[in-house]
Amino acid sequence: MTLPTITPAQAKALLDEGARLIDIRDADEHRRQSIPGAANMPLSALEPVSGHPAVIWHCRSGMRTAANADRLAAVSDCPGYLLEGGIDGWRSAGLPVKTDAKAPLEIMRQVQMIAGLLILAGVALSLTVAQGFVALSAFVGAGLFMAGATGWCGMARLLGLMPWNRRAA
């Protein structure tokens, strides 16, 4: 079963009638930027949703919700919809978005930035200092491949332990 896509204006009208808005992004993404009133239920922790006139699912751009529409429909006992354009579409429509500028960047963005920096450093050092530094780029590339193949990313785990990524108790 596929879920229909609705515009941010249609979603706002449904929310005003009591629909539930659920953000399927990871907690770190939701913490940094969210639609006021949206509940956070990451894809990895989906739970049954019932007792609402409707449920509206959203992510950042709409791609994750579209790719997982069947899973989202399966956990909802009420009419379900996908928010067109995700939180980006919501913001573009001029609707309110809550931003916490003090929250760290999402872990995967941190991984992408550090991996890119390490690869560039490995290439630059191999060209200017010693050819052996190309191994740094190869190591990072192999780690990215393994993360994609297995779904487990050691760099993300390590970054999650860093002080700037830990929530204050």
Q: Which residues are catalytic?
A: 59
Amino acid at 11: A
Give the residue among 162, 166, 159, 165 at the shortest CA–CA distance from 118: 159
pLDDT in tens, the chain (169 residues): 579 999 999 999 999 999 999 999 988 889 889 999 999 999 888 999 988 999 999 999 999 999 999 999 999 889 999 999 999 999 999 999 999 888 778 888 889 999 999 999 999 999 999 999 999 999 999 999 998 888 889 998 898 888 888 765 3
CA–centroid distance for 125 within its chain: 33
Domains in the chain: ranges and CATH: 5-99 (3.40.250.10), 107-165 (no CATH)
**Predicted pLDDT of residue 169:** 39
**Predicted pLDDT of residue 32:** 87
12 burial via Cβ count (<10 Å: 0-12, 13-18, 19+): buried
**Predicted pLDDT of residue 31:** 87
**Predicted pLDDT of residue 28:** 83
